[in-house]
Every structure is written in C-alpha cells, then in structure tokens.
C-alpha cells in the first residue's frame, strides 16, 4: 500500500455535492482545544542496533518514523513494511503494529508521536450531515498508515518539531508545535492518493456518513452498538453502511468497534486499578471472557491478570508478544 505523489489533494476528499438531508442527524463539533495545549508526546532522533524488537501494540496517538540510515521492518495490521533511508511512515491511531530490525543492520530514525485530538476541532467542511474535520481527512485518505518518500518540506517540519520539543518552553512553544503539525498533515494530504473509491455522486455525503459513524462509536462504545441503529439514523441500509465504512477505514465496522474498545481498555489498564471484569464492562463487553477473546483476536496477544486486590492495588498486566506494559 505504498502511497505515490499525485496531483490529487486532500481537498478532493471534501468535494461538495450540494445537498443535505433535513431528516438526517445534523451534528456539530463542539469540542474546543487551545493552541497552547501541546499535543506532542515525543519528538526525538533514535538509534537502534541490529536485532532490536518492539512487539505488537496499539495506541491512540499518531506515530511518525523517518528513516535516516539503515533499515527496519514494521508490521502494521496485516502488512509488513521494509523501510530504508528516506522513507516516511505515519501510523494512524488504533492500528496494531510492531517495529523491529534484522540481525545485520542498525537503524537511525526520527520518531514523533502525538495526540491527534486537536485535529478533530478543525472543521474543513460543514455542509453534510456531520462536520468533516482535519482528523477525518487524515483517517479517510489512507488505510492504517501513510508511506511517502520524504521531501524537503517534510524534512523541514520534522526537524522543527524535534527542535521545538527539545527547546525550553516559552509562551508560544506549544502553539508553534501544533501549527507545525497541522502544516505537516496538510502537506501529507496534498501528496497522497486516496485509497478508497467513491461513487461519482455525493462524495461529501459519503464522507459525513463515515464521520457520523466514527463519532457514534466514540460516544456509544461503552454500550451495545447495533449497526442497524446507525444505518437507521443515517437513512441508509446496513449493507451500504458496511460497504462504505470498509472502503474508507480498511476494516469492517464490527472489527473497528472491537479495536476501538480494546484501545480504550488498554488506557484503563494503564490509568486505573480496575479488574479485567470491570474494564470489560466499562468498554462495552458483556463479560471478561468475551473481552479476553476479542483482545486476543485484535492484538494476537494474551492478557495476564495478576492477583488483584485492594491491599496491593496491583493492576492487570498486558503482555504483547515480548512487550510488557
């Protein structure tokens, strides 16, 4: 799934059909975020020796690698990438992935990861049944990850992010970081060919259908989600919704719901002292057995719950093929 430089831009994703259904659920993006709220989690130059492995995992951040020297491998969902000098890889949120080197080559790379929530506050188009944000544009334009040959603009933005992240904080450091990230995302969208095929009529309506579905999952993941309910609210068939969602997101709607719930559960493991049963119920599973089964199918890993009691306050542990969190 290598992305080629094309004349097709991210703005093509947001073409206007000129029609909005009055009977469809009109929504707005109400969440606000200040530019002074830094979304960057890390921006460094890393060096790993031959044989290094970071096992399968997933998270809510967007993760960027630019290979400076050597080579490495990444497993992203069901695909394996062989990356060499000049490759730019951006892994989307909620994607199961790993990073590893062979036994003969070291690797140096720029490594950046950030929370993309701010992108969900930047509305690019508001003419459909649901606003299309910059985050939607990033999610819709590629399946699982972006792969480009780094250019001068990408190099400049990445180096700026690293310099700002390592410099002393000032009043405008966070704002400069966030603006640089937005500029980088827009540049990537402008140099990425859309991976999904759309019907010639009403592409904006299709965009807003998927955007509404993503928002519905984010809002209702802790309860039972029926595809029929989403389709009914959008006044489309379940079959059409399923086909459209798979085209845009690269996974089936049911699989995406499971992935989203598993990622929320990992956050609860890291941030709370809840038992697996409590976590399972909070993210929408009927019991811990069902949760454990889905967890294994999503991440291909096992969950080990240590003896958990209020005396030790010991958290459940997640074991991800050699990566212990």
Q: Which pLDDT tens digit goes with each residue over 13-31? A: 433 333 334 444 555 554 5
Q: Please compute the mean of the pLDDT values over residues 175-187 and round it to a whole number.
A: 91
Output the CA angle 245-219-144, nearest 5 degrees: 40
Q: What's the pLDDT score for residue 11?
A: 37
**In terms of DSSP H, where are the helices of 127-172?**
134-140, 152-166
Would you state the pLDDT for residue 25?
Answer: 58
Could you tell me which of 126, 155, 120 has the C-alpha nearest to residue 140?
Answer: 120
Residues 6+ apart with CB under 8 A from 40: 112, 113, 114, 161, 165, 177, 178, 181
Give the mean model confidence (pLDDT) for residues 147-173.
88
Question: Mean pLDDT over all residues of the chain?
Answer: 81
Q: State the burial class of residue 114 (Cβ atoms within 10 Å of its Cβ: 0-12, 13-18, 19+).
A: buried
Task: Name residue 46's beta-bridge partners.
Answer: 109
How confident is the model at residue 308, as a pLDDT?
A: 35
Confidence of residue 58 (pLDDT cuts 50, 70, 90): confident
- Nearest Cα neighbor of 319 from 241, 266, 280 is 266
- β partners of residue 48: 107
Q: Is a pLDDT exceeding 50 seen at residue 318? A: no
Going 309 to 311 to 316 to 317, the CA torsion angle's sign is: negative
Angstrom CA distances, 212 to 5, 31, 108, 188, 206, stand at 29, 15, 40, 24, 10
Q: What domains does the chain contain, in order, with CATH numbers?
A: 10-190 (2.60.120.280), 256-324 (1.10.10.60)
Read off the pTM: 0.77
Q: Residues 186-241: pLDDT tens digits?
A: 999 998 876 555 554 567 788 899 999 999 999 999 999 999 999 999 999 999 99
Residue 103, pLDDT score: 95
How, if at all, do strands 87-91 and 62-76 pair?
antiparallel
Strands of 85-165 (E only): list them.
Answer: 87-91, 97-100, 107-114, 123-125, 132-133, 145-149
pLDDT score of 297: 85
For the segment 168-177, the average pLDDT, to the nearest whole number, is 78
- Name the least confident of 20-24, 69-73, 240-244, 261-265: 20-24
For residue 13, the number of C-alpha atoms closer than 13 Å in the C-beta half-sphere is 31
As a whole-number percent, the residues of the chain with pLDDT over 90 amount to 50
**2 pLDDT exceeds 70?**
no
Q: What is the per-residue pLDDT for 41?
A: 86
Q: Taking 50 as the threshold, does the pLDDT of residue 313 lie above it?
A: no
Residue linked to tokens 């997640």 = 318
Per-residue pLDDT at 104 exceeds 60: yes
Distance CA 225, CA 52 (A): 40
pLDDT tier, 302 (very low <50, low <70, confident <90, very high otherwise): low
Percent of the chain with pLDDT over 70: 77
pLDDT for position 60: 87
Mutual angle of helices 173-190 and 152-166, in 10-degree steps: 160
Cα(306)–Cα(275) distance, rounded to whole angstroms?
A: 10
């Amino acid at each position: 799934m290598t992305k080629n430089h094309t004349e097709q831009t991210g703005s093509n994703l947001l073409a206007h059909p000129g029609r909005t259904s009055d009977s469809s659920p009109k929504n707005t993006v109400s969440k606000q975020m200040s530019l002074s709220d830094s979304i960057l989690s890390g921006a460094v130059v890393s060096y790993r020796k031959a044989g290094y492995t970071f096992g399968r995992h997933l998270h809510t951040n967007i993760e960027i690698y630019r290979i400076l020297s050597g080579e490495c491998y990444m497993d992203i969902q069901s695909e394996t990438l062989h990356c060499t000098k000049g490759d730019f890889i951006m892994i989307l949120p909620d994607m199961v992935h790993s990073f590893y080197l062979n036994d003969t080559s070291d690797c140096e790379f720029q490594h950046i990861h950030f929370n993309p929530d701010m992108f969900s506050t930047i509305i690019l188009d508001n003419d459909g049944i649901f606003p299309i944000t910059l985050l939607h544009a990033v999610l819709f334009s590629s399946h699982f990850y972006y792969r480009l040959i780094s250019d001068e603009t990408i190099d400049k933005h990445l180096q700026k992010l690293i310099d700002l992240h390592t410099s002393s904080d000032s009043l405008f450091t966070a704002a400069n970081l966030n603006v640089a990230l937005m500029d980088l995302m827009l540049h990537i969208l402008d140099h990425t060919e859309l991976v999904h095929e759309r019907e010639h009529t009403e592409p904006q309506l299709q965009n807003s259908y998927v955007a509404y579905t993503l928002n519905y999952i984010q809002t209702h993941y802790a309860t039972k989600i029926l595809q029929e309910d989403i389709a009914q609210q959008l006044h489309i068939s379940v079959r059409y919704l399923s086909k459209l969602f798979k085209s845009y997101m690269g996974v089936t709607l049911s699989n995406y719901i499971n992935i989203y719930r598993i990622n929320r559960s990992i956050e609860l493991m890291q941030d709370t002292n809840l038992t697996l049963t409590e976590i399972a119920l909070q993210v929408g599973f009927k019991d811990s057995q069902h949760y454990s089964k889905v967890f294994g199918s999503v991440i291909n890993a096992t969950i080990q719950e240590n003896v958990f009691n209020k005396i030790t306050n010991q958290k459940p542990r997640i074991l991800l093929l050699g990566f212990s969190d």
